[in-house]
Amino acid sequence: MFTGIVERTGVVEAAVDTGGGLSLRVGVMDDSSRGPWRDVELGESIGVNGACLTVVDFDNGAGSAAVSFEVVPESLEKTTLGALRPGDAVNIERSLRAGDSFGGHYVTGHVDGTGEVVEMERQGDQVLFRVSTLPGLMDQMLDKGSIAVDGVSLTIVEVNRTDRWFSFAAIPHTLASTNLGALSAGHEVNIETDAFGKWALHGLRLGNSQPGGQEGP
């Protein structure tokens, strides 16, 4: 599991079509405030723009590291990973370990779908984003609820089901430490709705499916 607190940003070095899948290589620069990235292990789960991927190769270099993943067709279908090109910035978060602080919200790394940035409005030193997405995802959102956009834990400002968009605000730190600061209108992003909201919605639907709308045993 993840928290939606981006650990670092990386830069796509290679994105190669493997005939249905994608071989993805991401370069990660050493961070003077966090130290080098040196203890990544093969088989480890890492969130890349909110999608949980498995490390298949890892190289250390002078002042940087490179981590490789194999992206399966299902992940390409449900995420924006297939659109990545060399030079693109991606958000990176390693899976939560015992003893790690929990600063965001519960994020599984299983992307529910994608959305498109339709508007960005600067409000003081913050930026308000409006993102359009499918009604099925909108049904799982609540005003002031949690959401992960490209793997970043955020709070929903408003859910507009009529026009089919939701909004969130990003503060300067978030804009500077994630790829959100590089977004513009027309960009597609990965969306994972709040797991607890999904469970609650599933429970309601299950209850309503019983005769008379009563919950089953």
Evaluate whether 8-94 and 113-203 have a shared fold.
yes
CA distance 110 to 74: 11
The partner residues of 57 in beta bridges, in order of sequence, read 68
Domain spans in the chain, listed from the N-terminal domain onward: 8-94, 113-203
Q: What is the DSSP letter of 96?
A: P
pLDDT of residue 217: 45
pLDDT of residue 195: 78
Q: Is the pLDDT of residue 17 over 90?
A: yes
Question: What are the pLDDT digits (tens) for 65-104?
Answer: 899 999 999 999 999 999 999 999 999 999 876 556 666 6
* CATH entry, 113-203, from 2.40.30.20, 3.40.50.920, 3.40.50.150, 3.30.70.260: 2.40.30.20
Assess whether pLDDT exceeds 90 at residue 36. Answer: no
Please give the pLDDT value at position 100. 62
Please give the backbone phi and psi of residue 198, each rounded to the nearest 5 degrees, phi first.
-65, -40
**Apex 99 CA angle, 55 and 24, nearest 5:** 15
CATH number of 8-94: 2.40.30.20
